[in-house]
Amino acid sequence: MAVPIRTAVAALCAGLAASLLGGGPARAGQDTGSAAHVWTVSAPGPGAAAQAPRARVSLDGTTGTLDLSVSRGGRTVIEPSPVGIRTERADLSQGLRFLHRTDRLVDERYRTKSGKRLDRRSWMNETRLSFGTAAGARFDLVVRAAADGVAYRYVLPGGYGDVLGETSAFTLPADARAWLSAYRADNEGQFAEYSAGSAPTGSYSDQALFATDGGYTLLAESGLSGAYSGARLAHDQGSGTYRVTLADDRIHSTGGPLATPWRAMVTGSLATVTRSTFTDDLAPASRVADTSWIRPGTVLWTWLAGGRAAGQSLTAQQAYVYYAAARHWPYEAVDAGWYFRSDQWDTTDPDWQTDSWLPQLTAYARAKGVGIVVWIHQRDLDTPEERAQWLPTLERWGVKGVKIDFMNSESQSMLQWYDAILKETAEHHLMVDFHGSTIPKGIQRTWPQVMTMEGVGGEEKRTNTSAHLTTLPFTRNVLGSMDFTPGGFQRVGQRPNSDAAEAGLAVTYESGLQMLAGSPESYDARPLARDFLAQLPAAWDDTRLLAGAPGREAVLARRGGDRWFLGGVYAGPARTAGVPLSLGAGRWLVETIRDGAGGLVQDRRVVRGGDTLGVDVVAGGGFAGIACRWHPGVTTCHR
């Protein structure tokens, strides 16, 4: 019997629509109910397809399971990796059927207060794939692709109960090089190099870097809040798969819709990964309307110069304020010892605040043009009542920022505490430095008063290695400001690097509040380093990687105004390092500080943009430098 033309055309149109929605035709010999579907998502922009990452999502028509892979320039970055989530009332990891697809362009411009550069653009394609089960459960898989990364998240309607876990994972070629940090609640582990398959069985931080023939890929997370819990990676030796596990066995639901954090893959050349702001670009927009009170800058922090013995008294702290003012450093940090715990105070006494000498210090510092940042233990801010005591009081005293320590958890309950403290510090105009903390996961875009976070094996660690120092610019510091606290010159024999490298770390490592961990005496003994640190801008306009190999060398250039600041750190033997001066055409005056036989030495030379700058570095050493445009009459880049 002949099929009417109108019916045949309708069938053809339906088939074409199904093919377009599914990203490809059904497999031969199967009906559309059991066929595999494939969808691809690429970065926007002409010519982006050549080197930008491309995500590929596949639905197995037999098992109803999803996987996601990533390629770049036709080469594998992430192999097909499972995708899915399980809740109390629905298993959304298998038995799935495709429902529909929607696409949109994300194009957002925003400005930050600190970071690799202040002006940002979040420009990415987004595809939302909706799936359902035979029992009627449904969810959306949202995939985004940008020039420097791919990310996905799950969006669930309300009424599905608590989240019990994800089947999310990342599968790498087993021979891919890997730089991993064993998981610690404070995120202060060292990074070590393995292959993806040879890494020992265990849990690792989700800031994991891999190198394949498709380039470098840094795994990350963004958009984390108290609606969920933090992620880490679980790995079995011999496998290239790293499974996402959560801090909580059960994530409590509010009963409403849920959008999980982004599972992000920052990918590209090493320079692209290092310069990327992808995890910030994914995060929600700023929730602070007026940011005029948020001011980054250099901080004098003397705790590593002797702890309480460094002078936890008004007289000692006034001396430090005086020193900071002389260097034009805008802040001085007061660590433990300045206050009694709030549960020891009689807050019914109207004079309870006088138990601290801090108000006198802030008044003295204000007259000198210096702001005060204070350390405080999280246990003294963990209830609404304690925060209502502390935060308004600190604001009234004129304190500019709080350094909150010892959260040591990414559980949902602790993340809910973060949600509360972030809102309240913004209300009381207090900048924040989190220690013993999670790592930045888009938090600095959403809450720009977060100037920096620890979450790193920093200067205070006596077991750090040169290899660890040269890996951090490509792992932890990619994700946001890092309070490594460089400048601890007095710690001779307790750090693996040289004095010139120590000066350069203030540039190599970005931090909105760059806390310099030395003593005034140690700076005065090294006037070249002291004067270099006094030149540091409050924030950076741009960042470039000049040379790098994780675990071996890292040389970064950061621009402040019309000057570029250089910082280099190296592992291994002494050498003459070659640094491509990729700062722009024309002539540049470059001033470098290196290690000499009798201490620090400064060199000046005029070179052309694109030339290779030769710098002598000692074993485990490095350098610091400033580059400015040269023309006749210019003899120094210092101001």
User: How many CA atoms does the CB half-sphere of 494 hold within 13 Å?
Assistant: 14
Q: What is the DSSP string of 312-346?
A: -SHHHHHHHHHHHHHTT--EEEE-TTS---GGGS-
Query: What is the spatial distance between Cα 506 and Cα 567, in angstroms, rounded to a whole number?
Result: 7
CA dihedral 332, 337, 343, 345 (to 10 degrees): -90
Would you state the structure tokens that stand for residue 49, as one six-digit string?
Answer: 């397809």
CA distance 331 to 295: 10
DSSP code at position 573: S
**Residue among 386, 460, 531, 616 flagged as catalytic:** 460
- Collect all residues with Cβ–Cβ distance below 8 Å to 249 and sequence separation of at least 6: 164, 165
- For residue 462, count CB atoms less than 10 angstroms from its CB and return exposed for 0-12, middle for 13-18, buried for 19 or more: exposed
The C-alpha torsion from 299 through 304 and 310 to 315, rounded to 10°, is 10
Joined tokens for residue 522: 């140690």
Catalytic site residue from 188, 221, 405, 553: 405
Give the number of other Cβ atoms within 10 Å of residue 382's Cβ: 15
The answer to whether the beta carbons of residues 110 and 287 sit under 8 Å apart is: no
Q: Which residue has the tokens 């070249």?
A: 528
Pairing of strands 431-434, 450-453: parallel
3-state class of 613 per DSSP?
A: strand
**The two structure tokens encoding residue 422:** 């972030």
Q: Are 153 and 262 in contact (CB under 8 A)?
A: yes
Q: Are strands 209-212 and 215-222 parallel, antiparallel or unpaired?
A: antiparallel
* Bridge partner residues of 96 (DSSP): 133
Q: How many beta carbons lie within 10 A of that of residue 463, not counting itself?
A: 9
- Token look-up 């963990």 returns 382
User: Could you tell me if residue 283 is left (phi over 0), alpha (psi between -120 and 50 degrees) or otherwise beta?
Assistant: beta
Phi/psi at 466 (5° precision): -60, -35
Listed in sequence order, the residues at least 6 apart from 522 whose beta carbon sits closer than 8 Å to its beta carbon are 305, 488, 489, 490
Kindly give the interhelix angle for 412-427 and 384-397, rounded to the nearest 10 degrees. Answer: 30
Between helix 384-397 and helix 358-368 the angle, nearest 10°, is: 40
Residues 6+ apart with CB under 8 A from 385: none
Sequence-ordered alpha helix ranges (H) in 428-474: 443-446, 466-471
Q: Looking at residue 471, what DSSP letter applies? A: H
Q: Is 542 a catalytic residue?
A: no
Alpha carbons 455 and 438: distance in angstroms, whole number: 6
Query: Within a 13 Å sphere around the CA of 250, how many CA atoms are in the beta-carbon half?
Result: 8
405 is catalytic: yes
Catalytically active residues are: 405, 460
